Amino acid sequence: MPLLSLDQLSLRYTPGGTPAVDGLSLALEPGETLALLGPSGCGKTTTLRLVAGFERPETGSIQLEERVLVGPGAFVPPDQRRMGMVFQDYALFPHLSVLDNVTFGLQSLPRREQVARARALLDLFALGGFEARAPHALSGGQQQRVALARALAPGPRVLLLDEPFSSLDAALRAATRLEVRRVLKSLDTTVLLVTHDQEEAMAFADRMAVMRAGKVEQLGTPESLYLTPRTAFVASFLGGTNQVPGSASGTEARTALGNLPLVAPAQGPVLLSLRPEALRLAADTNAVAQAGSVLAEVLTREFQGYSVVFTVRCGDLELTVRGNPEATLRPGDRARLEVVGKAVVLEDAAPGVAHEL
């Protein structure tokens, strides 16, 4: 049985307006981290606010284990939902010490028990010895971990994270994310994360729900969504892709790049997703295509440290290729383009899309 269930949630902020959340259903398993991922305005933060109780849906229900939090004739206030919330700006109390911030939600317990629980959480987050400090005397990453310790102290059934790492610089964000995930997994915490950062969602979550216009476009593990996106939107949002029209026959599709192998069999006109790393460029001083490759012209080169991203023109197609950082090709160079990965058939193909091939 899921720990948290969302069933057909809908909300409009203005009567007759576009739904911020539109018939959304999700289930969160105990100990699981589920990320709501999507561009600004897709409804992910509104969904989090509905779960927290900061917004009330027009229709639908929310259930935590066997307790109905929202439904016909039912609405449990935020402070009675057993949810922990960590905001983007941490929202620590500036006039309280680190220890008093963490014990803030434990007022019903004896002081000795409050302090013991707070110290144990601070130790888990490598913050032992910082109890007397004020929040302003901490780094951004340390403040974030204090906010997490404060949210976890009352023992919430679900921890809600709203863009928790977005205000940290890139290097600190990656390190903090790794440490926080380790602690949350050690505590078997159930987490609902909202983020617009694809890398963060894929690294942090067990499953992801990619959202668009208030709906879930695709739900699954990070690996399944990246390797087998169902729509052009999901494929493009998760790391970028090349969309190539073709005509499929079984496990291959005929395209302007030649016959491409497919992840799953298909028939007829198709629109394919081909990841940038599924293509490979090689310098060709003779400008002659070889078997299994086609000619391409390099249009742009973007060095990213761990890789180089090229934009190339191949006939009528403009494609993105991710290559080795040592690649020496420059704009204007001619190259051979080879497909080294498999293509995924997208659901977006319109009838006749491949007829001109």
Residue ranges covered by each domain of the chain:
4-233, 241-274+343-357, 276-340
Centroid of chain to Cα 138? 28
pLDDT number for residue 167: 81
State the DSSP H helix or E strand holding residue 152, giving kind and residue range, or none if neither.
helix 140-152
Q: Give the torsion through C-alpha atoms of 150, 153, 156, 160, to 10 deg.
A: 20
Superfamily the domain 276-340 falls into = Nucleic acid-binding proteins (2.40.50.140)
pTM (2 d.p.) = 0.90
Partnered with residue 136 across adjacent β-strands are none
Rounded CA-CA distance 44/211 in Å is 7
Q: How confident is the model at residue 292 (pLDDT cuts 50, 70, 90)?
A: low
- Among the ranges given (44-48, 145-149, 175-179), the one the predictor scored with the smallest mean pLDDT: 175-179
Mean pLDDT of 194-210: 95
Question: Is 276-340 in the same CATH topology as 4-233?
Answer: no
CATH 3.40.50.1100 fits 4-233, yes or no: no
Q: How confident is the model at residue 356 (pLDDT cuts 50, 70, 90)?
A: very low
Rounded CA-CA distance 281/218 in Å is 31
State the DSSP H helix or E strand holding residue 11, giving kind and residue range, or none if neither.
strand 4-11
Rounded CA-CA distance 185/229 in Å is 27
Could you report the per-residue pLDDT of 55-98, keeping only the tens digit for each?
999 999 999 998 999 999 999 999 999 999 998 888 899 999 99
pLDDT number for residue 90: 81
